[in-house]
Structure 1
Amino acid sequence: MKAKTFKQGVHPPHKKEATKDKSLKPAELPSEVVIPLQQHIGAPCEPLVERGDKVKVGQKIGESEAFVSAPVHASISGEVTDVGLVEVTGVGLMTTTQEVMAITIAADGKDEFHESVEPKGDLESLSAAELRDIVYEAGIVGLGGATFPAHVKYAVPEDKSVDTVILNGAECEPYLTVDHRTMVEMPEKVVYGLKAIMKMTDAKEGQIGIELNKPDAIEAMQEATSDQTNIKVVPLEVKYPQGAEKQLIDACLGREVPSGGLPLDIGVVVNNIGTAVAITEAIQEGKPLIERTVTVSGEGIKKPQNLVFRIGTNVKELIEQCGGLKKYVDRVVLGGPMMGNAQHDVDVPATKGTSGILALRSHEISKYEPKNCIRCARCVDVCPIFLLPTALYKFAKADMVAESKMEQTEMINKLDEYNVFDCIECGSCSYICPAKIPLLHWIRLGKNALVAEQRKNDE
């Protein structure tokens, strides 16, 4: 089987054996959920309920008037017990823990669905505009990690056109296997969701990119698309970050997204496997995004599993449903080990962006004990965006210790000149660095400094 790929990248251990054959299992219904009003890139939602209100499953409880936003819904039925600030990690593309407004709901044990949760019609009879409205009302965001509001992606500007929709079935992050299991267990829903995205964007072709280490998923998706003349499965080499948007486009189509540009600029829309299924369920069942899949794994988890949990369930509770933590856990990470966020506390809500909960022991973690750069250029050799990570690191570090405003501005301008915003934060540079320099950490700091400088200049 000939597989496609992109240039550069790294080959971390897969670490998927513990859960790749574990079927998706519904998590136990929580007695309480904490639902943040910002689980997406864009404007946070305003609460539509207040303390003491009774709510049902699927009822809209938060919404914003901004276009780039996504509503949130009650994931259980019960009573609103609080509307206030909570700590959440990784809101949108942010990697830090921050406080956001959230709605707390105590379960009433009925799990009663709201009257609005009903089938929305047939794919053939619904217009593109009607489908986009369904996606918006369901609060669907990209479930690959970035949590970009899905309806925004499908609102193609008049001066743009889309010819191809690519579904990301690569799931290249180590440990994570929920997309793999979704393709094996519900391929028809994946295809239906892909066809809906194609209709919303007026794309004539669909592709599903899957890495070769998921042969059962490739087989299931090939069978599910056997009668589709304009949808094909694309086998991909096993390499990280194969599932990154720009790299997936390069591998599948041989097209390059321009610096500072978007896939839309070259006629492509990319979505995650889970997003396609969420769209299917929103159309066929009228179900908003009230639950998602998550891999709970790592050598620190007693019984690794793939769970389907209600949004707002406590991370600690999900860990306990997998047998709890073993002794000597060094770190708990939300997401994958390459791009996820380490937690200082597991008493936090799992959100729309929680694709993995990993309990890792010390030997599973890259230790950063930075030495001087030895100028080996290995970070340059693996960077999938063809950046110069060492240069970005040096500019960001110099900015932090600059003795004058002029020197600081010069370093920040250098970050812009060297296209720091093109970095997709895959962590390949940090992974490969023999000097153990936390390159990605410094690049993120550099991005923050450049954003702050640009905002200051705009004032």
Structure 2
Amino acid sequence: MGLLTFKRGIHPPHGKHLSEHKEIEAYLPKGDLVFPMSQHIGAPCTPVVKKGDKVLVGQLIGEASSHVSSNVYSSVSGTVKNVTPMLTAGGTKVMSVIIENDNNYEEVAPTPHENFKNLSNSELLEIIKGAGIVGLGGACFPTHVKLNPPKECNIDTIIVNAAECEPYLTCDHQLMLQYSKDVTEGLEILAHMYPNAKIYLGIENNKADAITIMKAMLEPIQNIEVAELKTKYPQGAEKQLIYSVTKREVPTGKLPADVGCIVQNVATVVAIKKAVIDGKPLTDRIVTVTGGAVANPKNILVKLGTSLQELVDHCGGFKENPVKVISGGPLMGTALFSLDIPATKGTSGVLCLSSAEAAISEEQNCIRCGKCVNACPMFLLPYKLNSLVLRRDYDSFEKLNGTSCIECGACSFSCPSKRNLTQSCKEGKKQVLARKNNK
């Protein structure tokens, strides 16, 4: 299979050289840990502990309140200091459990299932649901829901997203290099759940070492193979990845399952392995702390709830004051107002940009060059959608499929006039949704 790709897209500077050769380091938190009850798409969890309670590593502290929700577990042992709203990366306050770490890391006894092939799909889904696993690529959709599509959907393809196309981030790359056995076992669990499906591990060709290792690991296994992807952004976006691998197009308003596909992130697959085979819930994840302002960029195995400030300090702090700090990558991440917020299930990176990296030109008038149109992987008209949002014509915005925008930032990156195209599409989508909810 040659290099696979999608139509349109961009080639931004990748910035991965800062951390792509840094092996994963485990970090033990020093201060209190904060566990927001909403670290996923769907309904927030209900706290099941109260102030003064003693908790263990792997103990349930937030229980899913609906089908589309996800449990939250403590990543340390210690005492619950409070249950109160706390600020998160999105700038909103979320009900959270605050735990004082006793540094003993006493664990709840795990319930391993080494012979997972003896388990039914419903039993495996209950284990995955119970472990609080969500999409660790950043979307944070509950995994048990995604792995249980409507019965009328004939799933014949599972694509595991290891593209990691977002600039600067290298956590998934190092995950494959250092945890290739865990990746393989997670893939085998998916193969057991969907014996009639072909499974592809999609890796961009700028990760040649990961491709070599994973090909060797998967070579003896039937129906699982590496799909080598062309390095291009946003190669890891769900619909673009599906097209790259299968040449199937997911229609507007439809889901991957409607075209026979399920897409999971590679880190999510490892979390599935840990939940099923090791019997452990999701309590940690790998985070890339990087950027030109960081003294020593690293890939860190982080206990969920750890302060982002602690992670930056672990990397030697700042060698210069950052102009901007982002949770995630530069194109789809969220700009932070403070580092005094916790690492959550969706924290793939802490990007600290120097003045040279974060230089933003003043917005100019649109010159109708069409570069945004040529870059958009969703075949939209970003310049037109921008104009409609500025005029608050949200009906026309919706008619031009503005709600199909995946907020990848390709249009803004390619615009010579530095128009805030992605930002206006985000606002348009927000207003369309608000108007529908108010009807």
Aligned partners of 1:333 and 1:146: how far apart in 2?
16
Q: Deviations over 1:323-342 (max 9, x none)?
A: 01122321111100111111
TM-score (norm 2): 0.98
Aligned partners of 1:221 and 1:54: how far apart in 2?
41
Aligned partners of 2:195 and 2:125: how far apart in 1?
12
Q: Deviations over 1:85-144 (max 9, x none)?
A: 11112xxxxxx42110000000112100013x2313422111111111111110000000
175, 180, 186: which one aligns with 1:182: 175
Aligned partners of 2:314 and 2:321: how far apart in 1?
19
1:403 equivalent in structure 2: none
349, 357, 365: which one aligns with 2:342: 349
2:425 equivalent in structure 1: 443
Q: Report the RMSD for the aligned CA atoms in angstroms.
A: 1.2
3-state SS, counterpart of residue 52 of structure 1: coil
Aligned partners of 1:30 and 1:253: how far apart in 2?
46
1:316 equivalent in alignment to 2:309: yes
1:328 equivalent in alignment to 2:321: yes
Contact 1:164–1:206 (CA<8 Å) still a contact in 2?
A: yes
1:45 equivalent in structure 2: 45
147, 151, 154: which one aligns with 1:154: 147
**Paired residue type of 1:430:** S
1:108 equivalent in alignment to 2:102: yes
Shift of 1:200: 3.3
1:253 equivalent in structure 2: 246
User: Counterparts in 2 of 1:330-409, with a 5 A limit?
Assistant: 330-365=323-358, 367-399=360-392
2:113 equivalent in structure 1: 120
**Paired residue type of 2:404:** D
**Paired residue type of 2:117:** E
**Paired residue type of 1:82:** N
List structure 1 segments (4+ residues) > 3 angstroms apart after TM superposition. 198-203
**Paired residue type of 2:293:** G
Aligned partners of 1:248 and 1:346: how far apart in 2?
32
**Paired residue type of 2:124:** L
Shift of 1:203: 4.6
Contact 1:25–1:308 (CA<8 Å) still a contact in 2?
A: yes
3-state SS, counterpart of residue 124 of structure 1: helix
1:238 equivalent in structure 2: 231
Shift of 1:64: 2.6
187, 199, 223: which one aligns with 1:194: 187
262, 266, 291: which one aligns with 1:298: 291
1:79 equivalent in structure 2: 79
Aligned partners of 2:269 and 2:130: how far apart in 1?
15
User: Counterparts in 2 of 1:413-428, with a 5 A limit?
Assistant: 413-428=395-410
1:144 equivalent in structure 2: 137
3-state SS, counterpart of residue 84 of structure 1: strand
3-state SS, counterpart of residue 66 of structure 1: coil
Shift of 1:202: 5.1
Paired residues, what number?
Answer: 439
Aligned partners of 1:201 and 1:439: how far apart in 2?
40
Contact 2:117–2:192 (CA<8 Å) still a contact in 1?
A: no
1:31 equivalent in alignment to 2:13: no
Aligned partners of 2:349 and 2:151: how far apart in 1?
37
Shift of 1:53: 0.2
Aligned partners of 1:270 and 1:366: how far apart in 2?
35
Aligned partners of 2:192 and 2:219: how far apart in 1?
19
Q: Deviations over 1:320-364 (max 9, x none)?
A: 001011223211111001111111111111110000001101221
Q: Is there any run of 5+ residues in structure 2 with no aligned partner, and where? A: none
2:435 equivalent in structure 1: 453
Q: Deviations over 1:185-242 (max 9, x none)?
A: 1112112212223333555210011111100000011001010120111111110000
2:65 equivalent in structure 1: 65
TM-score (norm 1): 0.94
Aligned partners of 1:378 and 1:365: how far apart in 2?
21
Q: Deviations over 1:267-312 (max 9, x none)?
A: 0000111000000011121111100001011111101110000000
Contact 1:129–1:200 (CA<8 Å) still a contact in 2?
A: no
**Paired residue type of 1:427:** G
2:164 equivalent in structure 1: 171
3-state SS, counterpart of residue 362 of structure 1: coil
Aligned partners of 1:202 and 1:149: how far apart in 2?
22
- In structure 2, relative to structure 1, the CA distance for the partners of 1:203 and 1:156 (3 Å cut) is farther
Aligned partners of 2:117 and 2:244: how far apart in 1?
31
